[in-house]
Amino acid sequence: MIHSTPVLPNNKLILGIDPGTNVMGYGLIEVNGSKITVLQYGVLQLKSYANHAIKLKKIFDATLRLITEYLPDELAIEAPFYGTNVQSMLKLGRAQGVAIAAALSRDIPYVEYAPKKVKQSVTGNGNASKEQVASMLLQILKIKEAPKFLDATDALAVALCHHYQQGNNQKAGGKSWKAFLTENPDRMSK
């Protein structure tokens, strides 16, 4: 008789991706109850490739390699931010799309988070700098040294944001703003 260890519902691997056409950040965290462990993080350098189609293929292949090696339960990916350069935004959207396609090709569900949501979730400030996000992650995840490229910590931040959004770990005393306002209607300004 073969016995297998049951997988508890709070145990999961989350792959976070900060998409980019020059540098793509990735980070993998394992959530085991209330314990969060960093499994891997880094960047995919794409600046040396002039052809955009080749960059997209490299992003797809790298994402697939991470999925094959670590078998994450979910993908959390940062949404493209709205800038003034439409061409840059389109390229970034394509980079995001191929990473999502890699996950979907292996039946991995994905969730997209706005950059401000990620920053707010990790630092408490939706306008935090990349450096502030990295500094907070070093403390929360007990990382000894910040990586050379902050795209890697951004990817870890997306994964951590996803974990927080799943209700596995609520900050600020464990209550949401909605719960606070429901319990304290007199404290809301009109």
DSSP string for 118-179: HHHHHHS-TT--HHHHHHHHHHHTT-SS--SSHHHHHHHHHHHHHHHHTTSS--GGG--HHH
To the question of whether residue 154 is assigned a binding role by annotation, the answer is: no
**4: helix, strand or coil:** coil
Q: Catalytic site residues?
A: 18, 78, 151
Contact call for residues 150 and 78 (beta carbons, < 8 A): no
Q: Report DSSP letters for 77-97, one per residue.
A: EEPPP--S-HHHHHHHHHHHH
Gap between the Cα atoms of 55 and 24, Å rounded: 10
To the question of whether residue 18 is assigned a binding role by annotation, the answer is: yes
Q: Which CATH number fits domain 12-187: 3.30.420.10, 3.40.1180.10, 1.10.10.10, 3.40.50.1700?
A: 3.30.420.10
Going by their DSSP bridges, the two strands 12-18 and 74-78 should be labelled as parallel
Q: Is this structure's pTM higher than 0.85?
A: no
Contact call for residues 100 and 75 (beta carbons, < 8 A): yes
Q: Which residues of the chain have pLDDT under 50?
A: 1-8, 168-176, 180
Q: Residue 1: what pLDDT?
A: 41
Q: Residue 181: what pLDDT?
A: 52
Closest among 118, 116, 84, 76 to 100, alpha carbons compared? 76
To the question of whether residue 78 is assigned a binding role by annotation, the answer is: yes
Q: Residue 2: what pLDDT?
A: 45
Burial of 20 (0-12, 13-18, 19+ CB in 10 A): buried
Contact call for residues 24 and 59 (beta carbons, < 8 A): yes
Sheet holding 12-18, edge to edge: 35-45, 23-32, 12-18, 74-78, 110-113
Scan for tokens 């691997």, then name that residue: 13
